[in-house]
Amino acid sequence: SGLVHVKNPHLDSMEEDVLYHLDLGTKTHNLPAMFGDVKFVCVGGSPNRMRAFAQFMHKELGLAGDGEDLADICAGTDRYAMYRAGPVLSISHGMGIPSISIMLHELIKLLHHAKCRDVTIIRIGTSGGLGIESGSIVITDMAVDSSFKPRFEQVVLDDVVVRSTELDRDLAEELLTCSKEIPDLPTLIGHTMCTYDFYEGQGRLDGALCSFSSEKKLDYLKRAYDAGVRNIEMESTAFAALCRLCGLRGES
């Protein structure tokens, strides 16, 4: 049917579903009227970047006005920022798995309550490249953890739940094809490694703590490259797992 799925039987018994961190709710807002025709959702870490992206899409889509006065739909909270340009929703997710996970739970419920169909969701943002030209665009075919495995491990109560992190390969190929229309934009498909930390977790030597040598760092990064990793960031495994489970066509 193309609908966005939620896999939580408890939602059916709730009088109202409050999307607390988005400052939206099923009783306080008419979500189908506000979002029912959304077809694309682009998410990224920074509120300012996502506002700039929404303004860019406003111009590219030829919408009325100059886009400078786009309103933050989540203005009632300082957790996330959300903007709309026609069928494109642009929303920030902060840094790291905990932040993007909270946003995605509420975004997916929003799309479900709004009865959106055939939604494509794309995470855009900066990352650390591995063995590639500076400024390259990496289209993720598979998000992997720090052991280079395509999995997202999460502790639920006292159980360790493991979920698959494969993304939509057809969408990756479509994006790669589109990139060829833009000159001087080196683009490739590769694995994206997701870490829980910006410093030690990504092999950086300049954090407040560093428990490894530069030689061990280089050996680890070489093994990551040999495993197919081409960039490193902090959200992709959670993003891929939630999109896959809820029937969203996703890419990072």
> Residue 67 — very low, low, confident or very high, per pLDDT cuts 50/70/90?
confident
- 154 belongs to an annotated ligand binding site: no
Query: pLDDT tens across 103-151, in order?
Result: 999 999 999 999 999 999 999 999 999 999 999 999 999 999 999 999 9
Range from 34-43, 60-69, 146-155, 197-206 carrying the lowest mean pLDDT: 60-69
d(CA 236, CA 167): 10
Q: What pTM did the predictor assign?
A: 0.94
Report the 10 Å Cβ neighbour count for 62: 7
DSSP string, 48-110: HHHHHHHHHHHHHTT-SS-STT---TTTT-SS--EEEETTEEEEE--SSHHHHHHHHHHHHHH
| 143 within 8 A of 167, measured Cβ to Cβ | yes
- 123 belongs to an annotated ligand binding site: yes
- 163 belongs to an annotated ligand binding site: no
**CATH number of the domain at 126-251, please?**
3.40.50.1580
Superfamily of domain 1-124: Nucleoside phosphorylase domain (3.40.50.1580)
Name the residue ranges covered by the structural domains of the chain.
1-124, 126-251
Query: pLDDT tens across 172-189, in order?
Result: 999 999 999 999 999 999
- 232 belongs to an annotated ligand binding site: no
d(CA 112, CA 118): 11
- Decide whether 1-124 matches 126-251 in CATH topology: yes
- 202 belongs to an annotated ligand binding site: yes
Which tokens belong to 40?
A: 């694309």
pLDDT reading at 252 higher than 90: no
pLDDT reading at 50 higher than 80: yes
pLDDT reading at 5 higher than 90: no
Distances (CA, A) of 132 to 102, 136, 146, 150, 230: 32, 7, 19, 21, 7
> Strand ranges (DSSP E) for 150-186?
151-156, 159-164
